Chain A
Amino acid sequence: MDSMISDALATLLADRCGADVVRAIESGAPPTELWQAISEAGFADAMVSEAQGGAGLSAEAVAGCWMLAGRHAVPLPLSETMIARAMLSEQSITVPDTPIAFGIGHRTPAGTLRAVGISGGRTAGAVLVTAAGDTRLLNTDNGRSERCAFELDLTLEWPESAWTAAPRLAVSLDTRLAQALVLSLQIAGALDAVFRRSLAWANEREQFGKPIGKFQAIQHQLALMAEESFAATMAARIACLPAPDGASSATASPGLVGALAGIAPLRVATAKARTSEAALQVAQMAHAVHGAIGFTHEFDLQILTRRLHAWRQTAGSESAWHDQIGRALLSPETTSLDVLRITTDVVAG
C-alpha cells in the first residue's frame, strides 16, 4: 500500500467527512462540497495514468484509500469513481465531474435497462453499467429512480434510447467483480473501525465497578472480533496484489482490465466472501459489546454497522462467491493446496 496517498486522504477525510457530514448526506443533503474537496485534491484521479494527468497508481497502491472509504463511511462511491475515471480516460471518453457508481444491468420485458441496488447511486452523477458484456456510462438524471433499503443506494431504470446513446467502453468492465473488489477493502476498513470503537468502549464503559473489558466474556468477544477483522483484511489486501501466473485462468470470469489488470478473479471472490462473512460476525459482536447505546441513532457505531450489512449484500454475498471458488476447486487437475497457493501467494519482488 502507498501510505503517502492514504495518509493524505485520511487527513482530508478526518477534516471533511466527519459523522455529521455523513449523516447530512444520508438524509438528502447534496455531496457536492465533499466531492469537490476529494476531487480537487486529486484522489479521484489516483489511478488515471500519468500521461492523462493522474497519479497512475495500481490497485495495490490505492488499497489503503479504499479501506479509508470504508473506515470513514464516505457517503459517495469514491472507490468506484477512481476505477471508472481511469478506464474512461484510458479509452478517451469524457469524464464527468461527478462521482461515478457501478451498476449491473438487466433488460426488462418492457425493453428498458434496469440496474438494481446501485451502491452509492444516490450520490453519483453517472453510473458505469455492464449488461450482457457491454459497459456504458449512463447519467443518473435520465433514468427513473427507486429508493433502496440502504439510504445511499439507488435502483435506476433507463429507456433503451438512453442506453444506445451512452458512451460505450471499447473494452468492457466486469462491474460486479470490480465492485466486489473495492467493497472487500471498504468492508475491511469498516471492520477495523468497528473493532477499534468496540475496544475503546470496552475500556471506557464501567459496570459492576470496573470497565466491561475486564470481564472474560467481553475479552473473548473482542478477541474474536480481532480474528475476524484481521482475516478479512488479509483476504482483501491479497486481492489487490498482482497474482502469480495461473491465478487469472482459475475461474471462468474474463477478469479485470485496464487499471485493474493482473487482479485475479479467484482472489476477489475469496476477498468478498471472507469480508462479507466477517461483516456479519463483527457487526453482531460490536452491538453485543456496546449494549443499548450502540443501538441509538445518535451514537456513531450504526453508521458503520449499517454499511457492513449493506456492503455484504452488494456485488454478491458470501454464498455467491463461495460458488465461484467451489467451481475452481472442482477442477480435477488441481489439489486444494494449489488452489490456495494461487489464491494467496505473494509474488516476490
Chain B
Amino acid sequence: MAKMTVKADTCKGCGLCMTACPRKIIGFDRDKINSKGYHPAVLLDEEKCIGCAMCAQMCPDCAIIVER
C-alpha cells in the first residue's frame, strides 16, 4: 500500500515527476487549473504506486508527499 499526493496549488506542471516515475502512472489533471494557472500533476493509478518517491525527488517544488 503506497500513495503519492500532489499539492495541487504548489505544482507548476513541469512534468518532471512523470519522467522519473518507474511505473508511468503520473499524468496532468486536465480537468483542473490551479491558482498559478497550471494543470497540476496527479496520480492516475493508485493501485500501481510503489511509494518509491522518485517523483518527489525529481520535483523542483516540493509539491509531492509520498506515503507508504
A-B interaction: no
